[in-house]
Structure 1
Amino acid sequence: MSLVLDSHTVFASLDHRTGPWLEEEEARAIAHVYRIRSRFNAVVPSIARLPPEVLLEIFSWVHLAEDSHMDTRWIAVSQVCQRWRNIAVSKPSLWSRLAPWSGEFLSLCAARSGNHPLTFQWENDDAKYKMLLAYSSRCSSINVTLGEPGVMEQFTSDFCNAAQPWSQLESMTIELDEEKSEIDSPSFPKFLCTPDMLPSFPRLQFLSLTNVFPSLWTTISVHGKSLRTLRLFNGSVNVERAPLTSFWDMLSSLPMLEELFMAYVPTAYLLPEGVTAYTEPERTVNLSRLRILRVDMPCSSDMAYLLSPLQFPDTAVLHIERWDRETEDSVLAVFPRDLLRLSSYLNSIETVQLARTTDELGIDSVALVAYRSNVPCSRIFAHCPSDSDSAMIPMVLRNSLLQLTHVFQALTALELCLHSFNVRGITSSEWVEIFRTLSSCLKMLTFIGSDLNDQARTARDIEDLRFFLRFFTEHATSGLLEVSGMEDSSEPLRDTILPHLVRLDLVNLEQSVQATLREDVLKYLSSRKAASLPSTCEMYFESERWDVESESGTHATPSTPPLISEFPDPVSV
């Protein structure tokens, strides 16, 4: 731009002339140039001055957000100006996701991707997809979606006849539409293995299969050296079910496995209908590197049978969902009867939160989150009928509470979400049984309120808390009459509930609840003293120490904050 020339260059030819007028003219010209430059920059959008790193991030997100792998809108975004075009062309990864565009455009993308690994998007068996096979040796990831009858066999043929080997392939996702596809499991091994049963993909680390499975699970075993993630989802009822022994053999051959997702896999119906008892397996399948285990199945007994030989590290994270809505079984019924193989994992869990949840689809569940060192390590969901008046949910909650100490033998803390319970749906005698099973271990108990600006909900929280406080008071002193003619004993009475409780937390409650419950809390604490319980129970309200005996109800900051967590929603596979 001629008006924005450097003034030093303009006056360079006059450097043989001297005088103050020259310095004044030069200063005036420089000021004029700065005014023009600032006026010009004022009308240039700020986005035009974004650094290349930010622009590349924007281009990448636009690329990932496209509705179809055939979309090229991200290219239009990157072509706003020459600077943007140059930045986009300089980033090989932007051009590495290939789809069956025209031959010229496909060649252009392959060239601009440089040596960057390629990702293939393959849909059905249209002849145009065969153009991708020319770049098979550079492919590191392939996503295949097949939805027409008979396409699996044709895809297998095309895939195996690629001109170059799939030597760089690290990730494979194959999905068949269960409503349209003919699931042809015998064709499955043809592209996973060579004729001499050597791995076709020696670097494969991620394998996801939906509605297509091998006739023998050992087909996957040949990739055991490097496979780290295995995802299996079955949406069809017609697929032939492979023997469970073969499935366990396959897991045993995957020493590097870190993530295992199973949803309605072909081992879903393991036991005959109506049969819940099974023989514990003698073998142990040690998944020593497992980080995440996700299992979705209809029946608790089938899941328990599937998990019965498994052993995994204490650091693993479990996510289990049971979809049989017609059972009152405990949430924890998904674990095998013999907990010896899982004892190290289960006995590291110290805190459990139990609640009723409703996800975005309106599905009701009884949900349990287990914590190790204040970090969630297990999420277990038992889906129930979506009926607020259903008697099944209280029964699932009751049975789950009764089983806690059997499964988690190191349990010391329990969190109960009040809005999850129809407290009166569980009888007083059942609550006695529940808290007696917890009395030997429980040291911290938390009641979580509704946290809603709803007077009716607050009144319900107060009613439920009063029930528990009076219930605890009654059973702290109920045995005193039995020993009225005897000397006082320092031992807790045999009918006393929660003798080892040292901390009771009330959280997510309106401030008015504190004053309303003060008298009931005082009676409970007095009953504990009268029963000569060995430990002193401290009260906390909204994460602060509650000095109940002080009329002002003053608070002091606790030395260790209570463990209160927002309950997670179920996640999809």
Structure 2
Amino acid sequence: MITRMISTHSQELEDLYDAKINAHFADIRLLREQRNADCSKTRNLPPEILSTIFGILHSEITQYSYQEWIVVTHVCSTWRNIALDDPSLWSDITVVPTNWIPEAFARSKAAPLTLGQGGFYDRGKTLDFIYKHVAEHPERIKRLYIHGEEDFINTLTKPAPFLEHVDISPDMEFPPDFLGGVAPRLKSVSCQSLPLEATWLANLTRLECFQVHLGAVYMSNLISLELGYDWVALDAAGGVIHCVDIDLLLSALQNMPLLQQLCLTLPRNMSNAPSNRSAPIHHHHLRDITVHLRKPKSAVIFNHLRVDSIERLEITCPIDFKDTAMIEPVCRFFNMCYHGSNLSYYLLQDGRDLEMHQFVGSIHTPVLLFKCLRPTDLVSVVNLLPRCVPRILAMHRKLPPKFPLADCDTIEELQLQIISEYSTSAFFEFLEAPSIPYPSLRQLHLEGVSFVPKAKRIPSLKRWISKRKSGTKIELLVLKECGLSDKDIASLRKVVTVVG
């Protein structure tokens, strides 16, 4: 009896102390939460600002990992509550892992949805529920990506007042009663083919398509047009126009007066017949043009096109590019329509792509891009572009056997990013050449250059720097990831200022 009483008393004391300990833990947790809330540097930020920041993080992170975005909600209770109270942060169902879909859908509340299927997750009961819900409430759809679910798109027969973008797979067609013909905010469509007439296309401004009615009424409102590889033109009856001539394409472009951005792959079967137009088409708003040339004569389209001011021009040449004659119309067009300051940044990637950039403050933006050019073509291309005065020559990754523009006397800065011993050897062979190229060179940037064996390569670089005339002496040598010792750098500093 006494033993039982002692045991009972001991258990009561243990429970009492455990209760007091747990109470202290609760107080400590509460104090920590209050400290985090009162002392945080973000405590004075309104919830709207934090929600905006979370939205930026969501858009940047979720394309790589949805779990990384969720970590934001674990920082503190304030952040978690703000995130949970913003339905828009949970409304993109395309990036949500399968096991998270029900919770994300619940947190989205009544916010317009970005909904997609195909490549993101497997279809199951959860998606069937969401599809059924959206079919009954199409006002929930903001952006729609559907690949391989034709049965679902056929259920969308009610008006979608907030739908902005539709992207469907090439093997799918829009049903005749799609959205009940009502989608007043629909601006962007990516698809295989569109009907010639459809009231839900009345406000279309952006189109990516492969089978297109060039004479459709809605084409006149387009701001951006992308005609993909092997696109075909359709006649009024939906039949394929087997040979698109230059005048047909130009007439279609003329009927798009609001066009600002054009991405065009010229058809393989494009007619070689010359244009009968007496004057070029003048597009007052067109600023951004990408054209994939597939036949030598297809560049003549630029003889019939004018814009007020080109801001970006990208040209892809055939792999079997022979000479610059086929791109002379492109260069003439650029010289006539580019009104910015002289291009100051010249970039060669992998030894075959020519990119010219313009500096705006500390940021450089691509202005002119020629792709699939051999290194030997580059000088000829630059000579066709009197507006181009290269000041910076940056070569990334692979170096061509012969340095491009070696005789250019305007380059002031040479940047080399090297990833192979072959490219490193090509650079040091370039240093040992009898002539001294780039007479205006003042800065040399080297990244990933191996100086092994150092006994030959460091002296070679020092000689090349020292040979230059005093008026154009290299003022700065920037080294990054070159593996040089302090002794090596000290040796180079005898002839040039070294950073790195």
Q: TM-score, normalised by structure 1?
A: 0.54
Residues 413, 443 of structure 1: 8 Å contact kept: no
**Among 274, 288, 312, which residue is 2:307 paired with?**
312
CA distance change for structure 1 residues 399 and 91 in 2, over 3 Å: closer, same or farther? Answer: same
Q: Deviations over 1:519-549 (max 9, x none)?
A: 6434xx8xxxxxxxxxxx63334379xxxxx
Residue 175 (str. 1) matches residue 169 (str. 2): yes
Q: Deviations over 1:141-179 (max 9, x none)?
A: 3223237xxx4xx777544xx222x44433232332xxx
Amino acid paired to 2:268:
Y
* Cα distance between partner residues in 1 of 2:224 and 2:35: 45
Residue 540 (str. 1) matches residue 474 (str. 2): yes
Aligned to 2:208: 208
CA RMSD of aligned residues (A): 5.6
Residues 171, 204 of structure 1: 8 Å contact kept: no
CA distance change for structure 1 residues 553 and 47 in 2, over 3 Å: closer, same or farther? Answer: same
Residue 368 (str. 1) matches residue 354 (str. 2): yes
Q: Deviations over 1:38-80 (max 9, x none)?
A: 57545999799886565785588568866899x9998999699
* Cα distance between partner residues in 2 of 1:134 and 1:382: 48
The alpha-carbon deviation at position 444 of structure 1 amounts to 1.0
Residue 355 (str. 1) matches residue 333 (str. 2): no
**Among 397, 403, 412, which residue is 2:375 paired with?**
397
CA distance change for structure 1 residues 291 and 98 in 2, over 3 Å: closer, same or farther? Answer: same
The alpha-carbon deviation at position 316 of structure 1 amounts to 1.6
The alpha-carbon deviation at position 337 of structure 1 amounts to 6.1
The alpha-carbon deviation at position 370 of structure 1 amounts to 1.4
Aligned to 2:337: 344
The alpha-carbon deviation at position 460 of structure 1 amounts to 3.9
Q: Deviations over 1:78-97 (max 9, x none)?
A: 69998777544531313544
Aligned to 2:485: none
CA distance change for structure 1 residues 205 and 238 in 2, over 3 Å: closer, same or farther? Answer: closer
SS of equivalent to 1:409? coil
Greater relative contact order (Cα < 8 A, sep 6+): 1
Residues 355, 416 of structure 1: 8 Å contact kept: yes
Q: TM-score, normalised by structure 2?
A: 0.60
Q: Deviations over 1:102-154 (max 9, x none)?
A: xx9799759822xx54434366999874642333345443223237xxx4xx7
Aligned to 1:444: 410
* Cα distance between partner residues in 2 of 1:86 and 1:554: 57
Alignment of 1:550-565 (within 5 A): 553=495
CA distance change for structure 1 residues 281 and 60 in 2, over 3 Å: closer, same or farther? Answer: same
Amino acid paired to 2:200:
S
CA distance change for structure 1 residues 133 and 312 in 2, over 3 Å: closer, same or farther? Answer: farther
SS of equivalent to 1:445? coil
Amino acid paired to 1:378:
V
* Cα distance between partner residues in 2 of 1:350 and 1:517: 28
Aligned to 2:468: 521
Amino acid paired to 1:448:
L
SS of equivalent to 1:403? helix
SS of equivalent to 2:135? helix
* Cα distance between partner residues in 2 of 1:311 and 1:110: 50
The alpha-carbon deviation at position 422 of structure 1 amounts to 1.2
Amino acid paired to 1:538:
T
The alpha-carbon deviation at position 401 of structure 1 amounts to 0.9
The alpha-carbon deviation at position 289 of structure 1 amounts to 3.1
The alpha-carbon deviation at position 366 of structure 1 amounts to 0.7
The alpha-carbon deviation at position 255 of structure 1 amounts to 3.9
Amino acid paired to 2:211:
F
Larger displacement relative to structure 2 (451-460 or 336-345): 451-460
Aligned to 1:135: 137
CA distance change for structure 1 residues 298 and 290 in 2, over 3 Å: closer, same or farther? Answer: same
The alpha-carbon deviation at position 398 of structure 1 amounts to 1.9
Residues 345, 358 of structure 2: 8 Å contact kept: no
Residues 62, 68 of structure 2: 8 Å contact kept: yes
* Cα distance between partner residues in 2 of 1:85 and 1:369: 45
Amino acid paired to 2:444:
V
CA distance change for structure 1 residues 96 and 232 in 2, over 3 Å: closer, same or farther? Answer: farther
CA distance change for structure 1 residues 200 and 34 in 2, over 3 Å: closer, same or farther? Answer: same
CA distance change for structure 1 residues 347 and 97 in 2, over 3 Å: closer, same or farther? Answer: closer
Aligned to 1:294: 290
Alignment of 1:448-527 (within 5 A): 448=414, 450-451=416-417, 460-467=426-433, 469=435, 503-505=440-442, 507-509=444-446, 515-518=462-465, 520-522=467-469
Residues 219, 256 of structure 2: 8 Å contact kept: yes
* Cα distance between partner residues in 2 of 1:121 and 1:554: 57
CA distance change for structure 1 residues 65 and 238 in 2, over 3 Å: closer, same or farther? Answer: farther
Alignment of 1:138-157 (within 5 A): 139-146=141-148, 151=150
Aligned to 2:366: 377
* Cα distance between partner residues in 2 of 1:229 and 1:554: 50
Amino acid paired to 1:268:
P
The alpha-carbon deviation at position 451 of structure 1 amounts to 5.0
CA distance change for structure 1 residues 234 and 130 in 2, over 3 Å: closer, same or farther? Answer: farther
SS of equivalent to 1:516? helix
* Cα distance between partner residues in 2 of 1:59 and 1:460: 47
The alpha-carbon deviation at position 280 of structure 1 amounts to 8.3
CA distance change for structure 1 residues 543 and 288 in 2, over 3 Å: closer, same or farther? Answer: farther
* Cα distance between partner residues in 1 of 2:56 and 2:262: 29
The alpha-carbon deviation at position 506 of structure 1 amounts to 5.1
Q: Deviations over 1:166-197 (max 9, x none)?
A: 44433232332xxxx3x77xx69986989994
Residues 353, 370 of structure 1: 8 Å contact kept: yes
The alpha-carbon deviation at position 368 of structure 1 amounts to 1.0
* Cα distance between partner residues in 2 of 1:55 and 1:271: 51
Residues 445, 477 of structure 2: 8 Å contact kept: no
Instruction: Give unmatched runs, 5+ long, in structure 2.
Output: 1-22, 183-194, 235-239, 450-457, 479-492
CA distance change for structure 1 residues 543 and 111 in 2, over 3 Å: closer, same or farther? Answer: closer
Amino acid paired to 1:257:
L
CA distance change for structure 1 residues 138 and 252 in 2, over 3 Å: closer, same or farther? Answer: farther
The alpha-carbon deviation at position 516 of structure 1 amounts to 0.8
Residue 112 (str. 1) matches residue 109 (str. 2): yes
* Cα distance between partner residues in 2 of 1:98 and 1:555: 54
Instruction: Give unmatched runs, 5+ long, in structure 1.
Output: 1-32, 358-364, 384-392, 436-441, 473-500, 526-536, 545-550, 557-573
